[in-house]
Each structure stands twice: as structure tokens, then as C-alpha cells.
Structure 1
Amino acid sequence: MQKELLKWLKDVGELDSARLISECSVDLLYVDTLFEMSSDRMTDLMDAQIGIPGKYYLKLQLDFQKEIKIIETQLMEVATALGMHIRSISWNPKIDTDKEVQMKISIIVRQAIFDEITLNKISWSGRLEEPDFLNRIFDLSKMPSFDSRFDNAYDDIHKHRIMNYDWEDDWVFTDRRFNLLHCEEEIFLKFLSLTINPVSRTDDEGVGQLIEIYNRNLSESGIEFYEKSKIAGKPIYGYREIAAGNASTSSADAKQRKIALVVGCSQYEFAGLLENPLNDAVAIKQNLESLGFDVMYAENPNLKDLKIKIDDFGTELEKYDVGLFYFAGHGVQVKGLNYLIPVDANLKSERTVEYDCVQVDRILSHMENAKTSVNLIILDACRNNPFERSWGRDLSQRGFAVMDAPKGSLIAYSTSPGKTASDGEGKNGLYTGELIAEIKSVNLTITQLFQKVRKAVMEKSKDTQVPWESTSLTADFYFNRK
């Protein structure tokens, strides 16, 4: 609440009050939930405790009467805007110690995390039954039941979530016994940690999705989840402050040697003209160069030129830490293998694809041999196959097939496997246009980046195009780390 109140005081021009509150702590203690008789609206009743440094405390009533009145009035306003009512406000001495960890996670951040879990229909308890999950954090046998038939919370929850299943899936986020919106941060973070612990969740995709949600929302609070150990090959995640000490990580990121090969195929001799791939390739090239990549570039290569360019890239890759391959143009899958179509290809039947196109595995092979720490392949090449009519093939074989990303790699597709992508109606293709819009975002992990791209593409295509990634990255990668 201190952060929200400080911003509000600045916004309304009360700078003296803002300076005072910037050195204080503001804690809200949950009292009760109020229900309006005329509607379903609920309001949390809270007590506010403002901690003030000792240098101000003794002269609080003498020198800061005006500021106190303004702060208390505006605190009421901010609380009301957040759906709360302040019952009382107390000013207490604030004792700072060197060991005190200042990790302030606001109600807004907590609610945003819970909203995303609910909207994405993620089971917060994973494979654990909900009372067993909660019992690892709280002693449910000593907590009250809301059902008069039972004398403890465990039996209450078991009845309504396992036997009857008559509570909503997000019930725990507003249950006042656990008070997750207002509880101590240690309890809140323990709850999040358990949702991604192997005891409750073993699917890598689900864990990755939750970590992305947590770290994106917690970044402004200066907290992140990270892999701290492994048990039986499964990662165990902890949380930590993002402090000045992490500047060395940022510095290390900046010193990574990064190389990219960017290819755009637009002027096909036997398949007509594609409007956007060259624009897409040029834009990606310019953005990567501005982000510290050495960029190799190929425009409308024929089969021979494309193979040479890829092999030259593979040779250079051995000198770098990060490798990126981007292709915009036509691509096709045949018998479960993915191929890039050069501009001189004349694919009269599926049998000629192997000889007239370049298999995507050629790039993956170079990346594996180079032993680069991070390898990225971005394929905006799932457009309609221009040779499809003459082949008479099954429509289920459209687009690209699924490829497993080797260790330390991420493969990004402009649409999901077996589907086709739009070439776009503007200067850039739909997928690459959204990628360009996000690629320079500061302190965005690559998984966060592609999630934002996916959401934007789905929204603009009305869910007809869903970008997709396959990843085995073992660490976060940032295009623009500050």
C-alpha cells in the first residue's frame, strides 16, 4: 500500500506528504469482510499501521500535523479505490535493521496473479487434493470450519471441494482463513512456491507458465522465482529479491556474443510474390543489430545460396554464445519433417521437396555442434503451401510439424503445428509485426516476450492464428536486459 499511496500523493500534488510517506511503511491488517445487502459487493475492513522512522516520530504532532491529515485522508481514498475500507489508522515507530528484507508485494500484484491463474484455468493445487496442499502451509486442524457440521477447516474444504465440489475453483484466493491478499509475504510466497513444487506439479509447461505469471507480476516488487536446486531431476524453485547484486548478471548478459542469420524470401519464381517477408526480415535485422547481435542477412536466396548461408552461419556460430535464426517466407512439412522453401523451388510433387528445399534440422544440427548456450529459431514460414493443389495432399499436413527443441534451444512458430499463418495486410506480417513491437521491451524474458506476442496475434486474428513455441532453455534469456 505504501507504493500506491506514494504515487497517489504525488499525482494529487501533495509533495510534502509524499516525501514523508516515502520513508514510512504502510501495512494493512485484515479485520473482516463487509457485505452490502442490496448487492453482491464485498468490502474488506482493514486497520492501517503506518511505521515512521524515529527521527520523525517524536515531533510528529508538532511539525507534521498538516501532512498527517493529508496522508490519512488520501489513504482512505486509495483504500476505497482498491475495494477496502479503513477502520483505523495508527502511527508507530519504525525500527529498521540491516537484516530486514523489504519485499513489499501489494494487494494489486497479488490480485493480478490470482486473476491470471483463474482466467487461464490453472489448478493451483496441481496433482494434490486442495486440503492436502493447504495443509502443507497451514494447520487446517486448528482453523475454523464455515460449515457447522465440521469442527475444522480440513473437513470443511474436503466436503465442499472433493465430495460436493460446490465451491468455485478460485475460492481459496478470497477465503479469509488464509487471507492470501493480505497475509504476510512469506506465507504468500510459500503458497506460490508450492504451486510449482514437484510434489504438486510435474509438467514442465505448467510450471513454466506459472513462473512466467509470477515473475512478470512480481518484477515491480523486486522479487523473482528462480531454480535453486534439483531433486530426482526435477527443479526446485525459490524466491529472492532482485537487488543491486544482480547487476553482475545484467552485465554478463550484455557481454554475451550474439549472432543471427536473418532470411527473407518474397520473390518466388514458381509460387508468386509474398508481400511482407522482405519487410519482416529487414525489420528483424535492424532490431537485432540495435540489440547487439552481429547479423548475417540473405534476401531471396536460391537453394544453393540458402544452404551456403546456413553453413557459413554454422561455422561462425562456434565463436558466439547466442545464436538466432529467423526465416520469413514459405515453409512446408513432408512426412513429419519441416522444410524452408527457397525462391527457385518448383515443387511439382512431395518427392522433390527433399532435393529442392532446406530441412530445418540443418540449422539445428549446426546449433548443436556449436555448443552455444542459447539457440533461437524463429519461423514465420507457415503460410499456405503454394504447391498444395498439385500435390492433392491432406489438409491436416498444412503448416509445420512439431519439432523438439534440443537442450538450450527455443523454436518459435508463427502459428501452431498443422496450421497456417497470415501474411498480414500491412507493412509486416501479423506475427513478425507483433514480435517487432515487443522485442526491445526492457527486462522481458524470452518466454514472456513470446507470450505477449501470442496474445496480441490471437486477439488480432480472432483466435484463428495461435503462435507456438517449443523450448528446452535452461536459463532465462533477455533481448534487452537493463
Structure 2
Amino acid sequence: MIWRALVVLLIGVVGVAHAAWADIRDQRYVALVIGSGAYPGAAALTNAVADSGAIAARLHALGYSVMHLENPTQAEVMRTLAVLRWAAEDAQQVVVYLAGHGVMQAGQAFYVPVDALKRTQFDPPAQSPTEMQMGGLSQTVPLSAIVQALSDKPRNKIIFFDACRSVVSPIMDGIGGSRRAMEAGVAIAFASAPGTVAYDGQNGHSPFAQAFLRHVTQNAPPLEDVLRRIRVDVVRQTQGVQVPWVRSSMLQRAFVQPMSSAPNG
């Protein structure tokens, strides 16, 4: 009820771009892709927006109705999540891809919008926020909020977190989330291991985005095999420095591509 009320309040505020997304209301396969690179100073990322554009195009080619944001603020991300929850209410599968900066606190992952950082809060060599002095993590987007936006309906919900998981406070609650159990039917593919960075890349795309584009195709195998191939690919590209992780509560065999185009067997 809270999310539904929020959508009613925000539909008139979101604007023309989001109004066009109402067309996805009756679609079975829906995706949200966000790319953030216009961070201040040395925090800027060269490839994140290009990553999101390529991922959005790939998902659209596979049959998804795609919502795509470039360099959104925290408020814009939260408004879009409200619209996504409404528009994808009856979708069979929802995919979210996040490219940009991320952090961890107390075992939880947070996506960092472009308005959440200050120039003094960044360590350029490590490519990850080292301090969050602007009110803690209040200007970030908790990964848990994204999971909740996908709702607890029994459908496949797949999140690709192509961002760092650098720790800004000691991990208290274990890997990947809070003490609350993760809802069923969710798979989260992290580009990096807990407490480590995810690299922006030097060849036009991040290592994780390159691996995604290489392995998420019309004839891709089941999700579990795709995620394993992505992990091997990223480890190879980074010579073992970056190791993707997966957290899953999937209840059935899943494919990233719509089932109509999934291979048999």
C-alpha cells in the first residue's frame, strides 16, 4: 500500500519521460537500467553511462520493455523505482542493471547516485568512496529498496550490481544484505566480492558489462550458467583481481532472455 500511494503521488511529478513508460504496464518482461558516471572531480566514471546504454539496447533486443536512466539523482532513482513497481506489477520477469559507484555498510550494498558524492570523499586510485560525510548514506539508494520495488510477487527478479562494494563501515550482518531474509525469486549478481572494487574498464566498457554483453544473448543458457560464465570472464579480464559474487533465492530455473527465445534443454 505504501508503494502504491507513493506512485499515485509521484506520477504527476515524474514528467513526460516517465509517462511514456506507462506503455510497459502490460508487458511481461521489464527492465530498468541505470548508468551513473558524472560524479564530481576524480570520482567521474568514463564507461558507466556507455555500459548502461549498451545493456539497455541488449535487453530491448531480447524483448524487454526497458526504462533507462543516465546520471540520475537519488530523487530521480527513487521516483523511477516507484513507477517501476507500478508498471511492472504483472510482469513475469524484471531485470535491473546498475552501473556506477557503490558502497557497503553493515553488510548491505548501496548504489551511489551522482548527487551523493563530494570531491573530498573519493580515493581516485581505488575508485571507491572512502567517506560519506554528507549525512551518512542518506543520499544513496539501498539495494534493499530496489529489491522491495520489484515486489514480493512470485516472479523472477534479477539484479546486476555493476558497482563497487567498498566498505564504509565494518561489516556487521554478513554478506550482501540485512538480517531480514531475502524474498523468494530474487537473484543478485554483484560485479565484485564484498569489500572490493568493481573496475570501470579501459576498453569502452567495464569488465562486468563486457562479460554481460558477451554472454547474455538470444541463445544464452540458464541464468545460473550465465552468471558463472560472467564470473569466469571477469576474473580472466582482471587477472583475478575482481571476482563477481551471486546471491540467489530463485525457486525455479531462470533465463535472462524471455522464455520464448530461451534455448531448449
**Structure with greater proportional helix content:** 1
Residue in structure 2 matching 1:374, options 129, 149, 156? 156
Q: Which residue identity is paired with 1:468?
A: W
Checking the alignment, whether the CA contact within 8 Å between 1:405 and 1:411 is kept in structure 2 is no
Secondary structure (helix, strand or coil) at the match of 1:324 reads strand
Return the alpha-carbon distance in structure 2 between the equivalents of residues 326 and 372 of structure 1.
20
- More displaced stretch, 458-467 vs 274-283: 458-467
CA distance in 2, matches of 1:340, 1:434: 21
CA distance in 2, matches of 1:270, 1:443: 39
- SS of the equivalent of 1:466 reads coil
Distance in structure 1 (CA, Å) of the matches to 2:76 and 2:42 = 18
Given the alignment of the two structures, is residue 328 of structure 1 paired with residue 99 of structure 2, yes or no? yes
Residue in 2 that maps onto 1:315: 86
CA distance in 2, matches of 1:436, 1:407: 27
Relative to 1, partners in 2 of residues 1:405 and 1:454: Cα closer, same or farther, differing over 3 Å? Answer: farther
Separation in structure 1 between the aligned mates of residue 236 and residue 50 of structure 2, nearest angstrom: 23
**Do residues 354 (structure 1) and 137 (structure 2) align?**
yes
Deviations 1:182-207 (A, max 9, x none): xxxxxxxxxxxxxxxxxxxxxxxxxx
Partner of 1:344: 115
Q: Percent identity?
A: 26
Does residue 60 of structure 2 align to residue 289 of structure 1? yes
**Unaligned ranges ≥5, structure 1:** 1-255, 386-392
Relative to structure 1, the CA distance from residue 353 to residue 313 in structure 2 (aligned partners, 3 Å threshold; closer, same or farther) is: farther
1:319 maps to amino acid: D
- The alpha-carbon distance between structure 1 residues 346 and 443, as it changes in their structure 2 partners (threshold 3 A), is closer
- 1:463 corresponds to: 240
Q: How many angstroms apart in 1 are the aligned matches of 2:91 and 2:200?
A: 32
SS at match of 1:356: coil
- The residue number in structure 1 matching 2:262 is 481
The aligned runs of 1:449-460 (5 Å cut-off) are 449-460=226-237
Q: State the aligned residue count.
A: 217
**Matched ranges for 1:20-419 at <5 A:** 257-269=28-40, 272-346=43-117, 349-350=131-132, 352-369=135-152, 371-382=153-164, 401-403=175-177, 405-419=182-196
Q: Do the aligned residues in 2 keep the contact of 1:303 with 1:345 (CA within 8 Å)?
A: yes
Deviations 1:14-68 (A, max 9, x none): xxxxxxxxxxxxxxxxxxxxxxxxxxxxxxxxxxxxxxxxxxxxxxxxxxxxxxx
How far has the Cα of 1:477 moved from its partner?
A: 1.4
CA distance in 2, matches of 1:450, 1:350: 31
**What is the one-letter code of the residue matched to 1:456?**
D
The CA deviation at 1:422 is: 1.4
Larger radius of gyration between Structure 1 and Structure 2: 1
Work out whether residues 379 and 413 of structure 1, in 8 Å CA contact, stay in contact via their aligned partners in 2: yes
Distance change (3 Å), C-alpha of 1:408 and 1:383: closer
| 8 Å CA contact retained: 2:98, 2:163 | yes
Letter of the structure 2 residue corresponding to residue 363 of structure 1: I
Residues 359, 444 of structure 1: alpha-carbon distance in 2 compared, 3 angstrom cutoff = same
Q: CA-atom RMSD, angstroms?
A: 2.4
Structure 2 Cα separation of the partners of residues 275 and 401 of structure 1? 29
> Could you list the per-position Cα deviations for residues 403-442 of structure 1 after superposition, in whole angstroms to 9, with x for gaps in the alignment?
3642111000001122212111101000110111110051
Query: Residue by residue, what CA displacement relative to the aligned partner does 1:382-413 show, whole Å, maximum 9, x if unpaired?
Result: 1768xxxxxxx66x76xx95136421110000
Q: How far apart in 1 are the matches of 2:62 and 2:211?
A: 17
Q: Does the 8 Å contact 2:165/2:193 carry over to 1?
A: no
- Residue type at the aligned position of 1:470: R
Could you tell me the TM-score, scaled by structure 1's length? 0.42
Q: Which AA in structure 2 matches 1:481?
A: A
Q: Say if 1:322 and 1:374, in contact at 8 Å, map to a contact too.
A: yes
Displacement of 1:443 in angstroms is 4.9
Larger RCO: Structure 1 or Structure 2 (Cα < 8 Å, ≥ 6 residues apart)?
Answer: 2
Structure 1 residues 272, 302: CA separation in 2 closer, same or farther (over 3 Å shift)?
Answer: same
Does the Cα contact within 8 Å between 2:84 and 2:150 map onto a contact in 1? no
> Structure 1 residues 316-325 or 346-355, which shifts more?
346-355
* 1:357 counterpart letter in structure 2: T
Q: Is the 8 A contact 1:339 1:358 kept in 2?
A: yes
Give the equivalent residue in structure 2 for 1:219: none
Aligned match of 1:137: none
The alpha carbon displacement at 1:472 in A equals: 1.1
Report the secondary structure of 2:113's partner residue: coil
User: How far apart, in 2, do the equivalents of 1:292 and 1:458 lie?
Assistant: 29
Long gaps (5+) in structure 2: 1-26, 122-130
